[in-house]
Amino acid sequence: MYSLAAVISLVLLLCSVPIFLVFGLGSSVAAIWGLNLPWSTLIQVSFGALTKHVLIAVPLFIFAGMAMLRGGAASRLVGFATALVGHWPGGLGIAMVIAMGFFAAFCGSILAAITAVGTIMMPKMIEQGYPKPFVVVLAASAALLEALIPPSNAAILFSALTNVPVAQTFAAGIIPGLILLVFMIIVVLIKCRHIKTNKPATSYEKLKAFITAIPALITPVIILGGIYAGLLTPSESAAVAGVWAIIMGFLIYRELTFSLLLKCLKETATITAVIFSIIAMATFLSVVLTYTQVPQSIISYFTELGGGVWFFWLALALICLILGTFVEIVPVFYLTVPIFAALALSLNLDILHLYVVFVAFAGIGMITPPVCVGIYTSASVIQENPGKAFKQVPLFVGVSIIYGLLMIAFPFASTWLPSLLQ
């Protein structure tokens, strides 16, 4: 029966059936017919997973990002970044990466970041002579900053799976996120050094861009300051960010209208429904794994095999790379994090170190075909054929692998700040 469930899941996956149905149908067959579990058990577990308090922050941060996009905050951040570095070699590319980093500090959605910053920056870059394939893959790769720089939906999901405080997971991603940002800037500096640049902005233009961006720039202070000062929970902080985004859009930048606000709510509902449907169905698989004691068997096998720490990291990297090629990052989390977390604890590894390394390698799936959601999203922004961008993928995959290996080799990058703030 388990073999039948695995075959059903594989066939559905190859047929490009939505991933939540792959999880749901395959796992329910194994649970109901293989383990003789009632439907009520699956529904109760699924309901319990969806009603974890920490997950409330997910739609709230998505809404905050959408409201800042429609309300003008995103364009001010882009303008500020362009004024700072637009005259550097590859200046517009660097500005897009920095703007992604800024946007990451108040929005937890990777796809929202690509849409928000890419809509503004990508047409400008192409107009200035940047190759379209490079622009598409750069936008998709830089958006991975959203998974590391807090607030991050990836951090929230990881905390929900491992019961690590969200504030700690947020802190773990800050330094690695900044390191990744520097990596991306170096790639642009080398790759685009021959492309013409803008005239340097005057001191007045830089000051003006900074002043107009101040309301957006203080958003991370509001979000993270409230959390680390102990005044707000992550969910409350996300709600405050949403309210602040509305205030900026209506009263400060005056670009948000009620029709655009309704559009933000619809987009938030759509993205949230996708994420939560995957979470709901992935819990079916967790039930099967729990009853069949697969995680315990894997840990025992790994221990008997004599696998050390580096063998563990190699296995994690390979599995994340392979799964990320075919499955989106959220289901990869729910498929593997519980098992890897148990293995990491058995090897006395810091669970926050696991989070950063996991995101580094699982995030590569955003740009590796065939299921390269990041590339499809960024290509759609400029109406480009995503297939033409694939030739630029090896460069960014190579950079991401080097980055992931550095994160493995230097765990203090992910553990130092959480230990300092604890």
The predicted pLDDT at position 335 comes to 78
* Mean pLDDT across 218-226: 86
Kindly indicate the confidence band of residue 16, based on its pLDDT and cuts at 50, 70 and 90.
Answer: low
Kindly indicate the confidence band of residue 421, based on its pLDDT and cuts at 50, 70 and 90.
Answer: confident
pTM to 2 decimals? Answer: 0.86
**How far apart are the C-alpha atoms of 238 and 40, rounded to whole Å?**
33
Q: Whole-number mean pLDDT of the chain?
A: 85
The more confidently predicted of residues 375 and 248 is 248
**How far apart are the C-alpha atoms of 35 and 308, rounded to whole Å?**
34
- Residue 304, CA distances (Å) to 201, 297, 319, 332 in order: 62, 10, 20, 26
Candidates 145, 62, 156; CA nearest to 104 is 145
323 pLDDT more than 60: yes
Kindly indicate the confidence band of residue 5, based on its pLDDT and cuts at 50, 70 and 90.
Answer: low
Candidates 154, 176, 180, 173; CA nearest to 97 is 180
Phi, psi of 170 (to 5 degrees): -55, -50
For residue 151, cis peptide bond before it (omega within 30 degrees of 0)? yes
The predicted pLDDT at position 240 comes to 92
69 pLDDT more than 80: yes
55 pLDDT more than 90: no
Longest dimension (CA), the chain: 71
* Mean pLDDT across 40-63: 83
Kindly indicate the confidence band of residue 9, based on its pLDDT and cuts at 50, 70 and 90.
Answer: low
Q: For 80-102, what is each residue's pLDDT tens digit? A: 998 988 888 888 899 999 988 88
**How far apart are the C-alpha atoms of 403 and 422, rounded to whole Å?**
26
* Mean pLDDT across 43-48: 82
The predicted pLDDT at position 1 comes to 55
Lowest mean pLDDT among 8-22, 192-206, 344-358: 8-22
353 pLDDT more than 60: yes
* Mean pLDDT across 369-391: 83
The token duo for 142 is 């830089």
- Residue 413, CA distances (Å) to 106, 118, 346, 362, 407 in order: 22, 29, 22, 18, 7
Range list of H helices, 248-308 = 258-292, 294-305
**How far apart are the C-alpha atoms of 62 and 264, rounded to whole Å?**
9
Would you say 172 and 356 are in contact if contact means Cβ atoms under 8 Å apart?
A: yes
Q: For 230-285, what is each residue's pLDDT tens digit? A: 888 888 988 998 999 999 999 999 999 999 999 999 988 988 888 888 888 877 77
Q: For 97-121, what is each residue's pLDDT tens digit? A: 998 888 777 666 677 778 878 888 8
**How far apart are the C-alpha atoms of 394 and 403, rounded to whole Å?**
14
The more confidently predicted of residues 369 and 242 is 242
Kindly indicate the confidence band of residue 2, based on its pLDDT and cuts at 50, 70 and 90.
Answer: low
* Mean pLDDT across 70-87: 88
* Mean pLDDT across 193-202: 82
Candidates 15, 26, 14; CA nearest to 285 is 26
Q: For 384-418, what is each residue's pLDDT tens digit? A: 888 888 889 999 999 999 999 999 999 999 999 99
Range list of H helices, 293-365 = 294-305, 309-326, 329-346, 351-362
141 pLDDT more than 60: yes
**How far apart are the C-alpha atoms of 95 and 115, rounded to whole Å?**
15
Kindly indicate the confidence band of residue 374, based on its pLDDT and cuts at 50, 70 and 90.
Answer: confident
